Structure 1
Amino acid sequence: MRKIYHLKTCSTCQRILKSLPQLDTFALQDIKTEPITVKQLEEMKELAGSYETLFSKRATLYKEMGLKNETLTESDYKRYILEHYTFLSRPVIIADGKIFVGNSTKTVEAAIKHLSHE
Structure 2
Amino acid sequence: MRLFGLKTCDTCRKALKTLPDAKFFDVRSDGVPGNVLQQALDRFGEALLNTRSTTWRGLDDAQRARPPLELLADHPTLMKRPLIERDGELFLGWSPQTRAGLGVE
Instruction: Give the alignment's TM-score, normalised by structure 2.
Output: 0.78
Which sections of structure 1, spanning at least 5 residues, go unmatched? none
- What amino acid does structure 2 have at the position aligned with 1:57? T
| Identity fraction in percent | 25
C-alpha RMSD of the superposition: 2.5
SS of 1:36's equivalent in the other structure is: coil
**Deviations 1:34-54, CA, capped at 9 Å, x for gaps:** 0123223113223x242x121
> Quick one: distance in 2 between partners of 1:32 and 1:102?
17
Cross-structure match for 1:66: 60
Gaps of 5+ in 2: none
Instruction: Look up the match of 1:38.
Output: 34
**Matched residues, number:** 104
Q: Distance in 2 between matches of 1:49 and 1:91?
A: 13
- Higher percent of residues as helix: 1
Q: How far, CA to CA, are the matches of 2:64 and 2:70 in structure 1?
A: 14
Alignment match, 1:84: 75
Q: Report the alpha carbon displacement of residue 70 of structure 1 after superposing the two structures with TM.
A: 7.8
Contact 1:3 1:95 in 2 (8 A): yes
Structure 1 consecutive aligned stretches of length 4 or more whose deviation exceeds 4 Å: none
- 1:21-66 Cα shifts (integer Å, max 9, x gaps): xx31x332111110123223113223x242x121110121211113
